[in-house]
């Protein structure tokens, strides 16, 4: 069985890179979002309530409780943590010796500390995903300095500790939950765009921050958009069970499909570090053989295979062909794919009802949990077999302790994750073991396991709504306040900002989707602009200047006694279609 040492190192590097992007992006926005003159001052979130120190830390786990001991307020503590997190993640990215359990524990604890006071600007699914992935990286990271893979430690065949592969399996399980749930919720939401396979005819022009390539994608033929929706359902719903396939080539095919989807999303949309983090998770589908240099395998002498190996290879090939055939038949049957040779197009339609899909989901939800449990059981047996092979009494004892600790943690995290995973199917959620519910409720605030469901409903079916801020000197002539990243001027092509996330621009997009009462932070934004505060008007290079342009009439001078500000919601043409693409 091929090992996973190289994929684990690639995973740890990727997690460090994403932490670095997340911390650095947030650091530039703290004054405008959480400073004393920001939209939601962070100092209001941490108020001692007379509880014990450890109880207070458990209920609101953040290192910012200790900021006053350093003479810092909460916003300054946020800046310090973000800066330290950026530097620590950079070190782990560049230096192998820093990819240590304690380093990733610090990164996770630091981001959790920031998350606790981030309020609405950090309540995104990718923030929760980063925290869950970061905690898994704590378990995946080595306890000591990583040994040279060419030199096996004494008593450990191949230099592999028995417990090493167990936590890395949880990364594969997380990727499965993320993708499968994201595909399922698109259909359980009853969104007419997803059911009608027309979602992508709206997506490129109504997404929060499109890229210049979104303009070209938007103008692709409608039949191709519908076919792409079918491919999305295939990749997100049908392919994820292959993550646990015993055949390596099936897992590699699943890996390639996930990478293709994420790369296409990155090209057509600015989703900060989210798609990069998903790509990092896909490393759990690989093994050392996948990543080994081809030259080393080509130099390997080929020996004639025995008939049992030849028979096994033939059965494996037949299994692969059966899986590909079943997927092809299922897609053609469920979405009525037909080739129109006269018009050179592929027609598609949804051939099942919501009731049929609900029954199918009710049927497969529990079996997918059992699939995960069976895969985990195999990993546990493999780890136990590796432990049996350890030589030396002391080495065997140490390996047994490590295997017990990490094995228990892996099983516990798997049980915890079943609770949010089952949210997508209520009847399965109610049938879970009550102990799993209690365990999840105990650690829910630590973000160790979360529910996911991306693009549940397609927005902008009747046009793209936008909140427009306008300022005036005299109340008669109004000038629009244009944001740096959020679509506004249709003659300006959209920017590319990955992996940075302008969090105010993102929240402005959500604010346009509902009444102002759903976005109470918006009132604070308007108040700060009327007060002429530097972070709000772009006067501070470390503040909102990274989220919005400075107001065209200056930092504070345009706000005067007779000055006023107004906001309105309007539907605009797609920002991904500027006059000059």
Does the pLDDT at position 294 exceed 50? no
Q: Do 9 and 127 have their domain in common?
A: yes
Residue 115 tokens, joined: 């998350």
Instruction: Report in angstroms the alpha-carbon separations of 374 from 40, 253, 451.
Output: 46, 21, 22
Q: Is 134 inside a domain boundary?
A: yes
Closest CA to 74 of 108, 122, 38: 38
Closest CA to 491 of 500, 482, 499: 482
Would you place residue 559 in the very low, low, confident or very high pLDDT band (cuts 50, 70, 90)? Answer: very low
Mean pLDDT for 1-5 is 71
Would you place residue 117 in the very low, low, confident or very high pLDDT band (cuts 50, 70, 90)? Answer: very high
Does the pLDDT at position 339 exceed 60? yes
Does the pLDDT at position 125 exceed 60? yes
Digit-coded pLDDT (tens) for 55-66: 888 989 999 999
What φ, ψ does residue 347 adopt, rounded to 5°?
A: -85, 145
Number of domains in the chain: 3
Q: Which carries the bigger pLDDT value, residue 266 or residue 519?
A: 266
Instruction: Report in angstroms the alpha-carbon separations of 450 from 109, 219, 297, 303.
Output: 17, 36, 40, 48
Q: Do 13 and 59 have their domain in common?
A: yes
Q: Buried (b) or exposed (e) across 230-263, using 16+ Cβ within 10 A?
A: bbbbbbbbbbbbbbbbeebebbbbbbebbeebbe
From CA 62, how far away is CA 109, in angstroms rounded? 8
Query: Taking the chain, what is the end-to-end CA distance rounded to the nearest angstrom?
Result: 51
Instruction: Using a pLDDT cut of 70, give the percent of the chain over it.
Output: 86
User: In the beta sheet, which residues pair with residue 467?
Assistant: 569
Mean pLDDT for 233-261 is 96
Residue 355 tokens, joined: 């009731």
Q: Do 203 and 253 have their domain in common?
A: yes
Q: Do 218 and 321 have their domain in common?
A: yes
Q: Is 403 inside a domain boundary?
A: no
Q: Do 124 and 198 have their domain in common?
A: no
Q: Is 378 inside a domain boundary?
A: no
Q: Do 41 and 77 have their domain in common?
A: yes
pLDDT winner (highest mean) among 153-167, 218-232, 511-525 = 218-232
Q: Do 90 and 183 have their domain in common?
A: no
Q: Is 440 inside a domain boundary?
A: no
Q: Is 388 inside a domain boundary?
A: no
Q: Do 47 and 94 have their domain in common?
A: yes
pLDDT value for 306: 80
- pTM for the full predicted model: 0.89
Digit-coded pLDDT (tens) for 502-556: 999 999 999 988 888 888 899 888 888 888 766 555 433 333 333 333 333 222 2
Q: Do 82 and 30 have their domain in common?
A: yes
Q: Do 119 and 221 have their domain in common?
A: no
Digit-coded pLDDT (tens) for 198-211: 999 999 999 999 99
pLDDT winner (highest mean) among 268-282, 468-482, 486-500, 560-574 = 268-282
Q: Is 162 inside a domain boundary?
A: no
Q: Do 137 and 209 have their domain in common?
A: no
Q: Which carries the bigger pLDDT value, residue 347 or residue 474?
A: 347
Q: Do 250 and 340 have their domain in common?
A: yes
Q: Is 21 inside a domain boundary?
A: yes
| Least confidently predicted of 128-132, 168-172, 340-344 | 340-344
Show which of 352, 368, 389 is a domain's final residue.
352
Q: Is 450 inside a domain boundary?
A: no
Domain span including residue 318: 170-291+306-352
Q: Which carries the bigger pLDDT value, residue 93 or residue 464?
A: 93
Runs of H (alpha helix) within 269-353: 274-281, 288-291, 294-298, 307-335
Instruction: Using a pLDDT cut of 90, give the percent of the chain over it.
Output: 64
Q: Residue 241: CB partners within 8 Å, gap ≥ 6? A: 176, 180, 368, 371
Helix axes 125-140, 5-27, angle to 10 degrees: 140
């Amino acid at each position: 069985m091929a090992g996973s040492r190289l994929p684990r190192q690639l995973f740890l590097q990727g997690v460090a890179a994403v932490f670095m992007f997340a911390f650095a992006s947030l650091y530039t926005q703290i004054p405008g979002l959480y400073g004393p003159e920001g939209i939601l001052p962070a100092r209001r979130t941490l108020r001692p309530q007379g509880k014990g120190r450890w109880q207070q830390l458990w209920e609101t786990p953040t290192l910012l409780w200790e900021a006053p001991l350093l003479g810092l307020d909460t916003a300054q503590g946020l800046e310090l943590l973000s800066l330290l997190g950026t530097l620590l993640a950079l070190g782990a990215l560049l230096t192998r010796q820093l990819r240590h359990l304690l380093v990733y524990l610090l990164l996770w604890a630091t981001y959790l500390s920031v998350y606790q006071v981030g309020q609405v600007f950090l309540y995104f699914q990718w923030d929760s995903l980063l925290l869950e992935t970061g905690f898994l990286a704590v378990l995946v990271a080595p306890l000591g300095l990583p040994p040279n893979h060419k030199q096996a430690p004494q008593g450990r065949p191949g230099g592999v500790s028995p417990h090493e592969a167990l936590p890395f399996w949880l990364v594969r399980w997380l990727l499965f939950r993320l993708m499968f749930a994201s595909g399922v919720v698109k259909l359980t939401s009853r969104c007419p765009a997803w059911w009608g396979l027309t979602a992508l005819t709206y997506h490129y022009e109504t997404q929060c921050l499109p890229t210049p390539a979104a303009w070209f994608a938007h103008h692709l033929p409608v039949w191709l958009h519908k076919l792409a929706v079918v491919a999305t359902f295939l990749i997100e719903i049908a392919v994820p069970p292959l993550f646990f396939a015993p055949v390596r080539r099936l897992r590699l095919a699943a890996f390639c499909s996930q990478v293709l989807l994420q790369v296409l999303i990155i090209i057509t949309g600015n989703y900060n570090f989210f798609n990069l983090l998903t790509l990092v998770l896909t490393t759990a589908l690989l093994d050392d053989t996948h990543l080994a240099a081809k030259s080393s395998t080509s130099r390997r002498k080929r020996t004639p295979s025995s008939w049992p190996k030849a028979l096994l290879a033939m059965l494996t090939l037949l299994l692969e062909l059966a899986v590909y055939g079943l997927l092809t038949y299922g897609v053609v049957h469920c979405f009525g794919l037909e080739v129109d040779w006269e018009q050179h197009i592929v027609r598609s339609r949804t051939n099942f009802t919501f009731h049929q899909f609900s029954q199918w989901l009710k049927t497969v939800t529990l079996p997918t949990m059992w699939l995960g449990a069976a895969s985990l059981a195999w990993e546990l047996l493999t780890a136990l077999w590796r432990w049996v092979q350890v030589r030396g009494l002391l080495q065997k004892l140490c390996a047994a302790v490590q295997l017990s600790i990490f094995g228990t943690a892996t099983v516990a995290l798997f049980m915890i994750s079943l609770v949010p995973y089952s949210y997508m199917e209520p009847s399965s959620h109610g049938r879970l073991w009550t102990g799993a519910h209690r365990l999840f409720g105990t650690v829910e605030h630590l973000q160790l396991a979360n529910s996911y469901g991306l693009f549940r409903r397609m927005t902008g079916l009747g046009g793209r709504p936008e909140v427009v801020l306008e300022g005036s000197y005299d109340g008669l002539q109004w000038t629009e306040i244009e944001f740096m990243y959020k679509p506004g001027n249709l003659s300006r092509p959209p920017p590319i900002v990955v992996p940075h996330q302008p969090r105010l621009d993102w929240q402005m997009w959500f604010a346009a989707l509902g009444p102002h009462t759903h976005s109470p932070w918006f009132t604070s934004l308007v108040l700060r602009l009327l007060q002429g505060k530097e972070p709000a008007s772009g006067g501070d290079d470390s503040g909102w200047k990274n989220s919005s342009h400075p107001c065209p009439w200056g930092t504070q001078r345009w706000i005067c006694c007779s000055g006023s500000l107004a906001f309105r919601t309007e539907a605009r043409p797609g920002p991904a279609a500027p006059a000059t693409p």
